[in-house]
Chain A
Amino acid sequence: MIILGIFGITLLIATYCTYAERKIAAFIQDRIGPNRAGPFGLAQPLADAVKMFFKEEFIPANAHKFLFVAGPSLAMLTACMSSAVIPFGNTLIINGNHIRVQGIETNIGLLYIFGVVALGVYGIMIGGWASNNKFSLLGAIRAASQNISYELAMGLSIIALLMMSGSLSLRQITLQQGGEFLGLSGLDWNIFYQPLGFIIFLTCAFAETNRTPFDLPECETELIGGYHTEYSAMKLGLYLFAEYVNIIVVSAVMSVLYFGGFNFPGQDWVRANIASDPTLAHNLVTILGIVVFFGKIFAFIFFFMWVRWTLPRFRYDQLMRLGWKILIPLAIMNVVLTGAAILFWPQLKAMF
């Protein structure tokens, strides 16, 4: 049940991300954007989907037939799998049973996401290589090189966070952030302790999802369409869809790791005052938490789109320099600083 729900919701959000992207682009460039299909153009994603189904599609004669199909399928498959461990909400109490609003709770949730998202680059690499097109090949090796470079900095920034949380479970990390900060319950977010780590993680998230300013694998001024030059119709759709699902997953992970997940400021007060029945109060707070969590995800998605129309694309040497020579040393420094801060925390506390 919950699995189907999570599937449906991620796919629905991904569909409407395409609409949101075009509307936000239009807003920033002072245009109207899609407005013909349905009220405010809200049926536009449906129209796009119908087009993807009915459009003629062909596999280039020189391409590797099997891998050409396998590439986009793999990209989409890994994107679908990664949403399994995200805690969308706290527990719901139904007939005395605690039911977690999460696909599956594993104690290695973070490693799982890290691994599955890293697999996504194979989809791009395989598709780009199998096309037997020079532009596709260039796009694919650029994508691979860029993703592996930024994965290191991403991993190091996560390690600083893990030193504080002591757990790889995304639910544990979220629950730890439900404490008090400045007298408000549910505001004990990691962003206040790991601002540098968050900035590194955010930058790497942009690079991992191939979004502007790091969209060199599909940079149209140099590489036509990049790795998906030869793709059309449904297979292109799978690639684009996978990209949006990845953005959702990465936004959700950022909300969980740094912005408290489903915790919201003042949740204990709400729990105490919303209803007299403790079960009902717990369920209502959980539902509010789910709404807040989706709000955080949407805020990050909006940020991704905002940045796309604000920053120009990097050059490849700048991209490599930023990844290896700035982000990795910064991330290592962050690990060392965090370690020292954790050790000296009792002394620091005693000083103030």
Chain B
Amino acid sequence: MEETYLSDFGTILLFLIGGAVFILIGLGASKMLRPSNPNPEKLSSYECGEEAMGSSWVSFNPRFYVIALIFIIFDVELVFFFPWAVVFGQEELIRATNGTWGWFSLIEMGIFLGILLLGLAYVWVNGHLDWIKPKPVIPQSRSKIPAEMYAAVNKKYS
């Protein structure tokens, strides 16, 4: 479609608009068609049939936050990998430099990767990647199967 004057991202804008129109039609049509009889019971938040206790916009486990921080660091490093990966194997560059280009870029990236691995090792050793494991409470029962077998299974899959 060379004759159209849309640039690459113009087409992506068209996709964006198309998606938005689809969503608007969906939401708009359902708004016109559906019944609407709200009452306070219906509008309360679901909490297993109990009345909801307070707001749920409260603090949550900081581990999620730590994971997000580590992710940011690694993802920024990952972004630097993409341009490197594209030029790494280019024949012209390798030929132009008599093959030293490959070694140069590999060693350069090895240093970068080493720093990245050091970071991974650091968070690993400090236990930021360990999630809290559930501690199963094993109920006492009069089963004919000996308790050691359960213990063995639990040990195997913990």
Contact = CB atoms under 8 A, between A and B. Distances in A.
Interface of A: 2-4, 7, 11, 52-63, 69, 73, 76-77, 79-81, 83-84, 97, 99, 103-106, 111-112, 129, 131-138, 141, 144-145, 148-149, 151-152, 155-156, 159-160, 162-164, 166-168, 224, 229-230, 233-235, 237-238, 315-317, 320-321, 324-325, 328-329, 332, 335-336, 339-340, 342-343
B23 to A, nearest CB: 5
Contacts of B29: 53
A3 B11 contact: yes
Given A56-B34, A81-B15, A325 B124 contact: yes
Given A159-B82, A336-B113, A343 B106 contact: yes
Interface string B39-61: 01011111110001001110010
A40 to B, nearest CB: 27
Contact of A328 (B27, B88, B120): B120
B86 interface: yes
In the A-B complex, the 4 residue pairs with the smallest Cβ-Cβ separation, listed nearest first, are A80-B19, A317-B131, A162-B85, A234-B30
24 contacts: A53-B29, A56-B35, A58-B42, A60-B43, A61-B40, A62-B45, A79-B19, A80-B18, A81-B15, A103-B11, A129-B57, A132-B57, A148-B67, A159-B85, A162-B82, A230-B46, A233-B30, A234-B27, A238-B27, A317-B134, A320-B67, A325-B129, A332-B113, A340-B106
Interface of B: 1-2, 8, 11-12, 14-16, 18-20, 22-23, 26-27, 29-30, 33-38, 40, 42-48, 52, 55-57, 60, 64, 67-68, 71, 74-75, 78, 81-82, 85-90, 102-103, 106, 109-110, 113, 116-117, 120, 124, 129-134
A178 B44 CA distance: 58
B57 A149 contact: no
Given A81-B16, A134-B47, 12 more contacts: A56-B36, A57-B34, A60-B44, A61-B43, A61-B45, A73-B27, A76-B19, A159-B82, A166-B90, A230-B46, A233-B34, A238-B23
A53 B33 contact: yes
B129 to A, nearest CB: 5
Given A56-B36, A316-B131, A321-B131, A61 B44 contact: yes
Contacts of A138: 60
Contact of A317 (B1, B78, B132): B132
B56 A137 contact: yes
Nearest to B55: A132
Contacts of A60: 43-45
A132 B109 CA distance: 46
Contacts of B132: 317
B20 to A, nearest CB: 6
A339 B33 CA distance: 58
A58 B38 CA distance: 7
A320 B131 contact: yes
B22 A133 contact: no
A168 B55 CA distance: 46
A145 B23 contact: no
Nearest to B131: A317
Contact of B43 (A58, A234, A339): A58
A79 to B, nearest CB: 8
Contacts of A3: 11, 14-15, 18
B4 to A, nearest CB: 11
A230 B18 CA distance: 27
A97 B33 CA distance: 46
Given A229-B46, A320-B131, A332 B117 contact: yes
Given A133-B45, A234-B30, A166 B106 contact: no
- Give the interface centre of A84, A133, A160, A320 by most chain B CB atoms within 10 Å: A84
A149 B15 CA distance: 28
Nearest to A316: B131
A76 B19 CA distance: 8
B68 A145 contact: yes
A155 B106 contact: no
Contacts of A328: 74, 120
Nearest to B74: A152
B78 A152 contact: yes
A37 to B, nearest CB: 19
Contacts of A234: 26-27, 30, 34
Given A224-B46, A332-B113, A104 B8 contact: yes
B27 to A, nearest CB: 6
A166 B87 contact: yes
